[in-house]
Amino acid sequence: MLDAALADAVAAFPAVDVRPFRDMIEGMRMDLARSRYATFDVLYLYCYRVAGTVGLMTVPVMGVSPDSGADLGTVYAGALALGVANQLTNILRDVGEDARRGRIYLPQDELAMAGISEADIFAGRVTDQWRSFMKGQIARARAYFRQAEQGAAQLNQESRWPVWASLLLYRQILDEIEANDYDNFSKRAYVPKAKKLAALPKAYLRSLKKPPSSQRQ
């Protein structure tokens, strides 16, 4: 049934490219073989494969607004950025959980520069060095969310609300990590239900705005 549904989607939206599907499979294989990431470039490749690909798969289905004056590459870049931002947020939220499984989804070179060892992570030490390191990681994730906004604004209006909701809700997880004083070892950052509900009308209002390029015309 799932194969039939996918075949129907590809038939209905011929612009759907097969490469992101293949790249996602490679991401699953990558996760089976790797539990450490030497640099952010390697981690980015993982994030692209397991999450950024989702954005590339769905843009042809969601469609681009007829009011959009943006280059199609901007839309795809924004969709890719949202997937990467969401995956980076997952990684930062789940540091403690992943460590208990013997996995560290953080750039090892940046950990070393911050003076943080694997033993520190496995012990769940929330030090000043860890807080400083986490601030940098959160800032990077937020930069991807900002890039994602540029693409979300260009989608068809019918598609914009769920995309904006995903963006706003996931970005709030980063706020909760900060509220927990960067203790993502023993505390799981989660967005309270009231905050989630409050984000939905904000996302809806954003979805009603025409693409920025058309507003300047």
pLDDT reported for residue 213: 60
Residue 82 placed within a domain: yes
pLDDT reported for residue 1: 83
pLDDT band of residue 17 (cuts 50, 70, 90) is very high
pLDDT band of residue 216 (cuts 50, 70, 90) is very low
Share of the chain above pLDDT 70, in %: 98
Task: Give the range of the structural domain holding residue 121, as residue numbers without chain letter.
Answer: 2-209
- Spatial distance between the Cα atoms of 165 and 150, rounded to a whole number of angstroms: 15
Task: Give the number of domains in the chain.
Answer: 1
pLDDT tens digits, 168-185: 999 999 999 999 999 999
Burial of 126 (0-12, 13-18, 19+ CB in 10 A): middle
* Nearest by Cα to 148 from 171, 125, 175: 171
Residue 61 placed within a domain: yes
Residue 215 placed within a domain: no
pLDDT band of residue 212 (cuts 50, 70, 90) is confident
CB proximity list for 156: less than 8 A, separation 6 or greater: 62, 63, 64, 65
pLDDT at 84 over 70: yes
Least confident of 41-45, 151-155, 197-201, 212-216: 212-216
Domain CATH for 14: 1.10.600.10
Mean of pLDDT over the chain: 94
pLDDT band of residue 93 (cuts 50, 70, 90) is very high
- Spatial distance between the Cα atoms of 199 and 167, rounded to a whole number of angstroms: 10
pLDDT reported for residue 215: 46
Tokens representing residue 146 in the block: 């900002």
